Structure 1
Amino acid sequence: MLDIIQQDKILLTYLNNLGSEKWDFLWLSITNQLSWSPLFVLIIYLVFKTFGWKRGGFALLFMILLVAFSDQFTNLIKNSFERLRPNNDPEIKYLLRTLISPQSYSFMSGHATTSTFFSVFVILLLREQYKYVYALLIFPLIFAYSRLYLGIHFPIDIFVGILIGIIFGNLYFLLFKKIERRFFL
């Protein structure tokens, strides 16, 4: 297990040091959730366009609950494992290009988990109406990579976050369909 942790640190150091000052502003913007507001507005528009006000509102409520659940679940995991963020890890913090310095724990990435969870749910929700909805997978991949670029998550944090996001997105969609059938069909 220790070897995996060491390899994780080596991979992060390599990936993080590929960065360049001229791109820092872009990655700082990408990691900010507010920068993605136009995408979220588009998704909300498509949900209401597809399902109407009543079912669309129900789907939107489910999306809001998804983000709240994912955030709390991620915090529970982080506080259980208490893995230091790379920018706080005394072994490698001086080897990294660090542009921000969060003090919370690292494992698992909330950005990777929630963005993947949200994207998978939205794709499953809209895949029958919009064939290009799968392009939404670009969002969590870029969003998650920004955390490596900034030196505030390890690759394992990102990988596990994406994996959990995929699993939760699928399970949450099944729950949504079950509840939706009860109220709308």
Structure 2
Amino acid sequence: MLEKLLEWDQQALIYLNNLGSEQFDSFWLTVTKFPTWIPLFLLIIFLLVKTHSPKESIGIMFSFIFMLLFVTAAIFLTKENVGRLRPINDASVNTVLRALTKPSDYSFFSGHAASSFSIAMLSIFYLRKKSKWIYMILVWPLLFTFSRMYLGVHYPLDILVGSMVGILCAYFFYRMHQRLKVPYTR
């Protein structure tokens, strides 16, 4: 069963990666970098500060910081312990991929997926009652994570698991913040 799943994973990546063309390479190389998204991060911070009291904004910022520290640790520990080669470093598939970058660390699970979905979902949890447009933020992690397959550095399962980890972490840290703030708001 696991072998069949991994075979599907490779075939799906090969298909998706080979949809790419040189005319879009620079776009996806830009999309995949965190600095590209700094204006979005600043907008999130602005919206959080604008829609919450100063005291609440500080608590929210701490929940983002602690969540990102937790997600980063989970990514590092999982990659080192699982040790799944990136597609571009795997001899069984790298000859049929369009590889535009060549990171040397491991693939499972995607740090880009986990971090982007955790930030987006935590933003949604805090802002969904304040702005109906906040759900548009999901475009970011979708583009961000697809770029990883386009570049040949992650398998679809890496993306899927990373996305789920990010969503679950966002939910956990939102609920923890809600529980911790209740005693202080009475």
**Which TM bucket (shorter chain)?**
over 0.9
Identity %: 37
Alignment partners' CA distance in 2, 1:144 and 1:127: 23
Structure 1 counterpart SS, 2:108: coil
Q: Who is 1:168 aligned against? A: 169
For residues 49-68 of structure 1, the aligned pairs below 5 Å read 49-68=50-69
Letter in 2 for 1:102: P
TM-score (norm 1): 0.96
Q: Who is 1:40 aligned against? A: 41
Q: Deviations over 1:21-65 (max 9, x none)?
A: 111111011100010001000000001001132221221122122
Give 1:68 shift.
1.6
Matched residues, number: 185
Aligned 8 A contact 2:107 2:153 in 1: yes
Alignment partners' CA distance in 2, 1:180 and 1:151: 43
User: Does 2:147 match 1:146?
Assistant: yes
Alignment partners' CA distance in 1, 2:151 and 2:183: 45
Alignment partners' CA distance in 2, 1:131 and 1:145: 25
Give 1:121 shift.
1.0
Q: Who is 2:126 aligned against? A: 125
Letter in 2 for 1:141: L
Aligned 8 A contact 2:67 2:169 in 1: no
TM-score (norm 2): 0.96
Q: Who is 1:26 aligned against? A: 27
Aligned 8 A contact 1:113 1:165 in 2: yes
Aligned 8 A contact 1:82 1:106 in 2: yes
Aligned 8 A contact 1:98 1:152 in 2: yes
Q: Who is 1:10 aligned against? A: 11
Alignment partners' CA distance in 1, 2:69 and 2:31: 21
Q: Deviations over 1:78-100 (max 9, x none)?
A: 11110000010010111111111
Give 1:138 shift.
1.2
Give 1:158 shift.
0.4
Aligned 8 A contact 1:55 1:184 in 2: no
Letter in 2 for 1:132: W
Letter in 2 for 1:109: S
Structure 1 counterpart SS, 2:53: helix
Structure 2 counterpart SS, 1:19: coil
Aligned 8 A contact 2:63 2:174 in 1: no
The alignment's C-alpha RMSD in Å is 1.1
